[in-house]
Each structure stands twice: as structure tokens, then as C-alpha cells.
Amino acid sequence: MFRVLFVLFIIIPIIEISVLMQVGELLGMWPTIGIVILSAWIGAKYVRQQGLATLQSVQAKMAQGEMPSSEIVTGLMLLVAGVLLVTPGFVTDILGLSLLIPSVRQVIAASVQKHIKVNPHVTGNSAGASFHTGNTYENEDFSHTPNPDNKVIPQHHSETIEGEYTRKE
């Protein structure tokens, strides 16, 4: 955790300052400031637009009783993109703008979703998800136990963190 904080608060600002100084030396102060402000404005506009579309997609999937895991990951990436775009600097702007590209987000979302397992046996206005940090089927016991609804639910005996939520209106 210390390394992550060190990179976020020490290394990235040093890189940003050096890049800003080099671009400012090349283009001048006002064009550099203008580019930083313009990229933040354009980025915020697209983050808002794509964020609203993602929110609508989440609501549609939730209304159908599906777990919107890809939309949640996309929403989180759009949040990170917004923070990166509002942070002044060219390096963070490039990273933020790259997260606005749907194909880049899909690649990142696919790698994140490998660690998310949706529990399809939860019914109604609730959904469950399990987060694994290794092989999904490692140390699994596939014996089945019936529940009161006469549905068969596999019993898992691995180190899995499971959670459920219920939507209340």
C-alpha cells in the first residue's frame, strides 16, 4: 500500500511537473495552460455523457434482475477517468482520455471480471457476487444441497467472500 501511495503522491506529480515544464518551454505558458484546461473540459463532458449511458444500462439490467457487473466496472473506470482528467497535467490527461475509449475499458473490464463470480442462484430483486483471488474451481466441493425453494445450490468450501444485497424501494 505504501508503494501505491508513494507513486500517487510523489512520483506522478514529479512526472507531471517535468512534462508541463517541457511542454511550456516548447509551446509557451498560455498555450500549455489552455491545452490543460481544454482537455479537462472535453474529458469532463465525455465522462458525463458516458457515465449517464452507463447508469441507464445499470438501471435496465437491474430492472431485468441481472447483475450489471460489467457496467459497474465501467462506471468505476469512468470515475477514475474523471479524476485523472480533472487533475492538471498531460500524463494524467492521457491516462484519463484512454479510459474514455470503450475498447480500452473493455480490456480492463475483462481482466477485472475474471476475479468476479456472479451467483446465479439468487432470485428476486437481489443479486450476489463472490470475489476470488485464484482458480475459481480450486478446492471446490460440488455436492449439492436443496434449499426451501427446491433449487439446487452448490456448496462451496473455498476461501470465498460472498455477499448479497436486496433492493428496497
State how far the alpha carbon of 157 is from the alpha carbons of 44, 95, 119, 139, in Å: 45, 40, 15, 7
Question: For the chain, what is the radius of gyration of the CA atoms?
Answer: 22
- The band of 12, judged by pLDDT with boundaries at 50, 70 and 90, is confident
Give the tens place of pLDDT for each residue, 18-30. 999 999 999 999 9
Does the pLDDT at position 158 exceed 80?
no
Distant-in-sequence, close-in-space partners of 16: CB < 8 Å, separation ≥ 6: 87, 88, 89, 90, 91, 92
The secondary structure element, H or E, covering residue 161 is: strand 161-166
Q: Of 66 and 123, which is predicted with more confidence?
A: 66
| Residues of the chain above pLDDT 90, percent | 15
- Please choose, from the candidates 145, 143, 142, 69, the residue with its C-alpha nearest in 3D space to the C-alpha of residue 112: 69
- The structural domains of the chain, with segments of one domain joined by +, span 14-113, 116-166
Does the pLDDT at position 44 exceed 60?
yes
Residues 80-96 have a mean pLDDT of: 88
Beta carbons of 141 and 124 less than 8 angstroms apart: no
- What is the pLDDT, as a whole number, of residue 155? 56
**Helix 102-113 vs helix 90-99: crossing angle, to nearest 10:** 80
CA angle 10, 93, 44 (to 5 degrees): 120
